[in-house]
Chains A and B, each alone.
Chain A
Amino acid sequence: MAEIHLESLAHSYLEQPTKPEDYAIREMNHVWEQGGAYALLGPSGCGKSTLLNIISGLLNPSEGTVKFDQKNVNGLQPNQRNIAQVFQFPVVYDSMSVFDNLAFPLRNLKYPKDRIEKKVQEIADVLELGDLLHRRANNLTADEKQKVSMGRGLVRDDVSAILFDEPLTVIDPHLKWKLRRKLKQIHEKFNITMVYVTHDQLEASTFADKIALMYEGQIVQFGTPQELFEEPEHTFVGYFIGSPGMNIIEVSIDDSHAVFDNIRIPLAQGLIGQLTKKLSVISSSNIKIGIRPEFVAVLDESADNSYECSVLDVENLGTYKILTLQLGEQKIKARIDEDQIAPTEKAFVLFPEQSLKLYLDDYLVREESI
């Protein structure tokens, strides 16, 4: 069991990095608490796998330290850190039975025979591998193999954390649900720190209590799935979380309105105050507003503060519909219920004030707390 601290951590694959772009991981400080279920989410190339390998000890960071329970573990091998890792493609020892696979780490640690037997049986029951224990591992299906590789991490009592590197990539969708649920149950049962790397926001948010969203070698937001959805701290978070992502529109500010293409959207007083304050320190014209498709209200008729748009496209996705609307020169997306009849040519949209976010240099401007 361990609390994992990353202190002034940075990593570059180059010998002599000079620019920020040379770093796969830009300097960061971060704490993974004992027993948490975390996801490390981001597009490919954002540095998430690099970070995972640094935590597990497969890679040594070029700068900064990794601490497990305040103990510096830089330079320690994965086996000395008591970390388990599950890889993208299932790793099973083909020549062994499922039982031997699960017993392998315990045998390496010289556990007594009866204890191995008990432990393996217990884990096999949790993972529903009981019937397969005496089958050879190379004849299993992908999801069974992946369960075996998870099991090898779970059998050990001394494991301080389990790291998952996109473990569901090769699994069929209908089995992904089952395996993910299994993971969640295991987490509740064993209270082990788990870090789960993925590019799939649904996987991340359904697995994790807290998500670290990575972008260009940095964690741009660390929060609950709900926070990432409702209060994206960076435009990238808005874009990446949600399907489709947040509507983000570049605007200028005029008399407490956000203005684009002759469309004027009123902003909350608190927001304007905060923005003015920030603009007095740094001068920037990179101002954007963002609103999630889920929060855009679509009406058939004009109402107060509604804006008229033309309907470009309707996608029926079964559980809901996605409208593509043209507002001024901008294309915006709105999500409506499956039962709501989609307008065909013309629609009116409302942007509820509490759902309208304001970004300066791509970072969220929060309302002043009064």
Chain B
Amino acid sequence: MNLKVQNNKAWFLVLPVLLLVAFSAVIPLMTVVNYSVQDIFDNSRVYVGTEWYREVLNDPRLQASLIRQFIFSGSVLLIEIPLGILVALMMPTKGRMASLCLVVLAMPLLIPWNVVGTIWQIFGRADIGLMGAFLNGIGVNYNYASNPTDAWFTVLLMDVWHWTSLVALLCYSGLRAIPDAYYQAAKIDQASAWAVFRYIQLPKLRNVLVIGVLLRFMDSFMIYAEPFVLTGGGPGNSTTFLSQTLTKMAIGQFDLGPAAAFSLVYFLIVLLVSWLFFTTITHLDNKK
């Protein structure tokens, strides 16, 4: 039973937060909208309508990085979600080992993003890095700085290392919430381990998985610091993702108008895809 009290005074207490949100989110967003429809050059401002939007959407550089971004986010989800579930299923349920596993799992999540990039930058180096040198030592020609495939592989591996824990922890808490009676009933119904997973664990994990998928999609879609530190977007543009392209445009070339238009398109894509995920998954539940 939730203790909901009817009291309008509460709105006063929320007021500071509303103001804060207005300052931190709404006002900057509006500034960006403003930029995206003007050409700014020194102090002169010219209204250009949708020109920047058209330019941005037709820019082959941006299109390429958008495609790269979708491939990257898709791969991240395809690897991290099943892997996270698998890890959660294999974790011990009680005792010291359980707490130990939790601590170990939580560790990557505590490392700052650019430090993760640095760690892997060194780890993967072909000359002195533990992984890079080892791979070359056993005859695999691996160099993320010159080979785009190797660079992609390293960036993906890094993201999997960094974030699978989050999915695993979410699933672990979801699994712990399933009452014992379900497992007992399944045992009695002669269910195989696969049937237990398919018909008990997976349906009960649905809610945490929705959160997991959304978080991982949004985070990976906006990834910046790690590949920036690791590969700098290279070799060539092979690991340049959307946010990096955007930064280059806004800060490197100071194209504020197109950058603003691009930001908004970017924002809308994230919003749209997240919404799609959310509605399809919740609708699956109500069907049948």
Chain A contacts to B: CB under 8 angstroms: 56, 58, 77-79, 83-85, 87-89, 91, 93-97, 104-105, 108-109, 136, 149, 152-153
Contacts and interface: CB of A to CB of B under 8 A. Distances in A.
Nearest first, the 3 closest Cβ-Cβ pairs linking A and B are A95-B203, A105-B189, A91-B185
Contact of A108 (B179, B181, B195, B203): B195
A85 B195 contact: no
Given A91-B179, A105-B190, A108-B192, 18 more contacts: A58-B184, A78-B187, A79-B188, A79-B189, A79-B190, A85-B185, A85-B188, A87-B185, A88-B181, A89-B179, A91-B182, A93-B199, A94-B204, A95-B202, A95-B203, A104-B199, A105-B191, A108-B189
Contacts of A91: 179, 181-182, 184-185
Interface string B188-212: 1111100100011011100000000
A75 B200 CA distance: 25
A105 to B, nearest CB: 4
Contacts of A79: 187-190
B4 interface: no
Given A104-B189, A108-B190, A152-B189, A94 B203 contact: yes
A58 to B, nearest CB: 6
Given A97-B288, A104-B199, A89 B181 contact: yes
Nearest to A105: B189
Contact of A136 (B192, B204, B288): B288
**For the complex, would chain A's binding face be called helix, strand, loop or mixed by DSSP majority?**
mixed
Contacts of B199: 93, 95-96, 104
Given A93-B203, A94-B203, A96-B199, A108 B191 contact: yes
A367 to B, nearest CB: 47
Contacts of B184: 58, 78, 85, 87, 91
Q: How large is the interface on B (under 10, 10 to 19, 20 to 34, 35 or more residues)?
A: 10 to 19
B184 to A, nearest CB: 6
A184 to B, nearest CB: 22
A93 B188 contact: no
Contacts of B191: 104-105, 108
Given A93-B199, A95-B203, A104-B199, A149 B188 contact: no
Contacts of B185: 85, 87, 91, 149, 152
Contacts of A152: 185, 189
A78 B185 CA distance: 9
A83 B202 CA distance: 26
Contact of B188 (A56, A94, A95, A136): A56
Q: Which of B185, B195, B200, B204 has the most CB of A within 10 A?
A: B185
Contacts of A83: 188
B192 A78 contact: no
Q: Is the interface of B mostly helix, strand, loop or mixed?
A: helix
Given A89-B179, A91-B182, A97-B288, A84 B203 contact: no
Contacts of B288: 97, 136
A211 to B, nearest CB: 24
A319 to B, nearest CB: 35
B179 A93 contact: no
A84 B184 CA distance: 10
A77 B186 CA distance: 12
B188 A84 contact: yes
B187 A87 contact: no
A254 B204 CA distance: 69
B209 to A, nearest CB: 13
Contacts of A108: 189-192, 195
A289 to B, nearest CB: 44
For A85, A93, A108, A109, the residue with the greatest tally of chain B CB atoms inside 10 Å of its CB is A93
Nearest to A58: B184
Nearest to B182: A91
B195 to A, nearest CB: 6
Interface in B195-252: 195, 199-200, 202-204
Contacts of A93: 199-200, 203
Nearest to B187: A78
A55 to B, nearest CB: 12
A87 B188 CA distance: 12
Interface in B169-186: 179, 181-182, 184-185
Contacts of A96: 199
A166 to B, nearest CB: 12
Contact of A78 (B182, B188, B202, B204): B188
30 contacts: A56-B188, A58-B184, A58-B187, A77-B187, A78-B184, A78-B187, A78-B188, A79-B187, A79-B190, A83-B188, A87-B181, A88-B181, A89-B179, A91-B179, A91-B181, A93-B200, A95-B202, A96-B199, A97-B288, A104-B189, A104-B199, A105-B189, A105-B190, A108-B189, A108-B190, A108-B195, A109-B190, A149-B185, A152-B185, A152-B189
A157 B164 CA distance: 45
Contacts of B204: 94
